[in-house]
Structure 1
């Protein structure tokens, strides 16, 4: 399951709305948190109405600032337990999995920040369920989480005390460490890690290969799958590994120039983000961001042309198409029922598991199964 949290600093212009739709279409998140929308509930619901695959709820802006919102994919149970201008507290359930998920927005004012930590402690004290807190805390835990600028030690100490008191630990992150950049050049540049995800239970998972639905129907995809099964020698696990390798190889050579250009430019942007902020690098960074945005628009047009779905309207930003036809489904797969070899339908976790185990046990004991039969059963 993947979550997306964004600080838009205003979601009232078409470019920002287009960027939101593009991110949702690309990442296919299960849940999206939005911060500083600067929109009223009525204004945000107009935007939400265009993202038809998601339900949602919002907290109004206050004057010209604030505004929180949450979107979740239909089929996920998200129950809002409490909300304020600084947080949204949800009970989330997907199948048998349930936990508490909180979007947090720390006070931007130093004088009021102690109230944010008090709120964090109150949220932690509500119950003993597993919980994840993802947000913009407007504070760092250590001075090493800053590049440029200065911060009083007592500010960081107060944040650390609140985090430790709540029993929270950082969720592992990838890519660039700093989440905020003031956009200035040279000595005036400041970067910090004020956004983070924390949880009261640390869980590590091996990154798995996942089949992308957008590959279905693409030239070469089926051939790559068949090649991998032809060399499987009847071993389901080795055939599965071979299939993953073949699909990765096929994806690298067939995904298209646009996606490769996006990847190259994002790597250049990453190097610029990690380097010094002189006038040249700031100018180059702005240029790269504009080029990446243009490539993303080209990619969107590309998929619209390939979709051949007449109901896909120009103003829809292809959200519907990608969430129905091409979105990666990130939540755990669930088998509601299964048909056994005699045509009987079984439901329930124990019966489904038993039928599946018996079927694959038969495969392993009877030599190489016909691929068509295996596909039809799966």
Structure 2
């Protein structure tokens, strides 16, 4: 791909992926997650019209390599229908060749959401044209595995292509929900964080539930002003950009769009610079590259779910899976066993009930 970029394939640790083949124009993998096994191909079609037939030959070849449910996603550098182009024109024979290859492979489009056209040549007026070059297509057997799959056309910024995001299951869809408050460790030491916590404690009047609620409110307000200001501004400008992408491509709007893209790029640079400086400050405070701090941070993920030993109630260090299991069992048995304490009113006063009376009757009923 020269200096323009390339294809990359990344996956989570809990998903098993097996490499099948790759070239300058594709990457092919099998994917196993939970009980589903399928195949995904990242595809990049030849950009030159004279070489476009090579794209369809590659697509047909890939179709013969496996009978697994198949998803093919990427930039095909061609459209299937004349309605997938706004401005300009496309010879019918080019679309027919793409159609023939897609039909032969048994592929069909994943439904999409967002602005229709994923490519814009960046020109204004009559010289502007937009089309759908980026898409995701699957076989019937793949759609049987992912009934609610949807492709999102995201907002295009400095590239002439819009990024696309494939959501496989309905539960993963981006929706507007109020996010639960989470305290982030990186806030510690930031100017104003401690003061926000103090204000929350004072407003809580010594009530545990009230203190927690007020601290969360104060920290959210502080975060929005102190840390989230740049992020909020970026989001606001990206919404403006999305509206411009869907408007008429007159000269004034093209200039406005270029100005917005430059402003977003500068804000992103500022945000990255802030976090680089913040990371550097943490590094200088907590240790350098040769200290235990570095190795501890690097090994956190690997050791997250591993327990090498436990100390029992007598203070003795215990090792071995069976012995560690007994120590853990005894600890939690003692932890949750009642010693019949009293006077819970002061502790529970500020906590809101979640179990209604009718729910409690059901819980206490005979099995």
Q: Structure 2 length as normaliser, TM-score?
A: 0.56
Residue-by-residue CA offset, 1:216-249 (whole Å, 9 max, x unaligned) = 554689x8xxx9x969xxxxxxxxxx9xxx9xx8
Q: Which residue in the other structure is 1:289 paired with? A: 261
**3-state SS of the aligned residue for 1:158?**
helix
| One of 141, 147, 154 as aligned partner of 1:203 | 147
Q: Give runs of aligned pairs for residues 49-68 of structure 1, distance below 5 A.
A: 68=7
| One of 125, 143, 146 as aligned partner of 2:85 | 146
Q: Which residue in the other structure is 1:343 paired with? A: 328
Q: Structure 1 length as normaliser, TM-score?
A: 0.54
Q: Give runs of aligned pairs for residues 1-378 of structure 1, distance below 5 A.
A: 11=3, 36-37=4-5, 68-72=7-11, 77-93=16-32, 98-199=37-138, 200-201=142-143, 202-204=146-148, 205-206=170-171, 207=173, 215-216=184-185, 218=187, 253=224, 256-307=228-279, 308-310=281-283, 343=328
Change (3 A) 1:96 1:341: farther
How far off its partner does 1:100 sit?
A: 1.8
Change (3 A) 1:150 1:287: same
**3-state SS of the aligned residue for 2:43?**
strand
Separation in structure 2 between the aligned mates of residue 301 and residue 217 of structure 1, nearest angstrom: 15
Gaps of 5+ in 2: 149-169, 188-192, 286-293, 308-323, 331-335, 337-347, 352-367
Aligned length: 259
Residue-by-residue CA offset, 1:187-225 (whole Å, 9 max, x unaligned) = 00011110112223243113276779894554689x8xx
Separation in structure 1 between the aligned mates of residue 135 and residue 78 of structure 2, nearest angstrom: 10
Separation in structure 2 between the aligned mates of residue 214 and residue 114 of structure 1, nearest angstrom: 54
Separation in structure 2 between the aligned mates of residue 99 and residue 297 of structure 1, nearest angstrom: 39
Q: Which has the larger radius of gyration?
A: 2
Residue-by-residue CA offset, 1:39-94 (whole Å, 9 max, x unaligned) = xxxxxxxxxxxxxxxxxxxxxxxxxxxx5444556776543311223212123345
Change (3 A) 1:263 1:144: same
Separation in structure 2 between the aligned mates of residue 186 and residue 158 of structure 1, nearest angstrom: 30
Separation in structure 1 between the aligned mates of residue 284 and residue 15 of structure 2, nearest angstrom: 26
**3-state SS of the aligned residue for 2:255?**
helix
Separation in structure 1 between the aligned mates of residue 274 and residue 31 of structure 2, nearest angstrom: 35
Q: Which residue in the other structure is 2:341 paired with? A: none
Separation in structure 2 between the aligned mates of residue 96 and residue 79 of structure 1, nearest angstrom: 16
Change (3 A) 1:189 1:95: same
* Structure with the higher fraction of residues in strand conformation: 1
Superposed CA RMSD in Å reads 4.8
How far off its partner does 1:10 sit?
A: 5.8
Higher relative CO (Cα under 8 Å, sequence separation at least 6) belongs to 1
